[in-house]
Structure 1
Amino acid sequence: MSTAADPTGSAPVLELRGVTVRFGSVAALSRVSLALRAGEVTCVLGENGSGKSTLVAVLSGLQRPVEGELLLDGQPVRLRSPQQARSRGIATVWQDLAIAPLMSVWRNFFLGAEPTRGTWPFRRLDVGRAEEIAGREMARVGVTGLDPGQPASALQAGERQSLAIARALHFGARVLVIDEPTAPMTVAQRALVLQSVVAARDAGLAVLFVTHSPQYAHLVGDRFLLLGGGRVAGDLTREDVDLEDLTRLVAGGDELSLLTGHLRAAHPDR
């Protein structure tokens, strides 16, 4: 099932066309197409094994498809590594986010790109400016009253995700891929992550948010991509579905089975 043409008429920043990824004889993704537009949140939902993690790996440069293509600003591109993806403005916030726990928040924010002052050979870190920037950018995504000099180990799970999103915003990402964290979170911590997602969208980024929760998806999503068995089972907008509809579809009820059945009937080779 697919939606009508995009009403805004905006061209995708990043697009997948007919992407297939195989592990041996198993197709983890099968002819998946997806368009990510600036200022829009696309939520990806599906059960375990539906292909969500493989999709993240493709977008982040960890996995190369065997079929199909990726287009950045309408031009074909091959992402051979996460470093190359980042250099092209595609930032990924990983499910199991790694930080350096004994380093400060501002150190984790900059990760080798710290501001300096003075000229060589007397150049040195500008700690004051680094703390000011880190604190300001964290507040931008909803984390206020934070001491940037505290160890990163003091951050809650939601704050760690917000830190990674704030960093991507500051360093000029155009596409933000967020793989929902597996760490247990309180409602307040999840609210921080969702607030950061909205901040990224409002800053004009094209956001892909992978989640298992239709409730969270419907709070922030503009579009919803439903995956089942590595295939696109639904490509919907907020105008297509309300929360009840989305919850029923994600639960794998009769509607999702019907969508998948129609897809396979129309494309038996998938």
Structure 2
Amino acid sequence: MSEKNREGKRTARERLAVEREKQKAAERRRRTLIVAASVVCVLGLAAVIGIVAANSGKDDGSDSAGPVVAPSGANGDDQLAIPVGKADAKSSLTVWEDFRCPACKSFEDAYRSTIHELTGAGQLKVEYHLATIIDGNMGGTGSRTAANAAACAQDAGKFTAYHDVLYENQPPETDDAYAKNDKLIELAKKVDGLDTPAFRTCVEKGTHNSWVAKSAAAFRNGGFSGTPTVILNGKNIYQDQTMTPAKLKKQVQDAAKG
């Protein structure tokens, strides 16, 4: 065999060896990419699971640890209602509200004075139930934190006044200002005698957070369409397009006469 032929065969073998090495390298890269992709998928799934777990229940405060501590005087099923007015009043109004809810503020602005007049006259009793629907819809914790603060005000016998202050000073729905304890304590100064060390401690520790979570769960499980839900003597009057404060007053006063 000539030197030229031997050189040609050697060159061919070398090219083949180089090509095989390239194929092996390509295979190694392919396997590496498959493994990496699998790891990314697993990590991605874990991240999704983690996000879901982290967000689950955030609309109802269920991420709050601790025992369920009902505010003073709470009544009804599982002590989830805060009562206002005389217990023997002929008419009963059940109100499901969220302190971040603009529609709740509109209801309160329109009906506040009438409800105060009727409860003051002993003709109407009101049971307030606190929901956290806006926390779930918009994100944040202001609904829950404000509800806890209102429950703390109930402990101090100042629920009605503080309830009104929260609605009168309600921030825009997208502004989670009520998530800040300092803001809620600042508003307590508008209620005579509420800004006390006991109230501050109750707010800052989230004493009633688990109770709020339980109330929010009752709202979700109650089949209600939204907040506010306002029920007078078993009838949902918020869905009644003809209802007005004057009509509510007449119905309550008529029931008191009967």
- Normalised to the residue count of structure 2, the TM-score between the two structures is 0.28
- Flag the structure with higher helix content: 2
- Normalised to the residue count of structure 1, the TM-score between the two structures is 0.27
- Flag the structure with higher strand content: 1
Q: Which has the larger radius of gyration?
A: 2
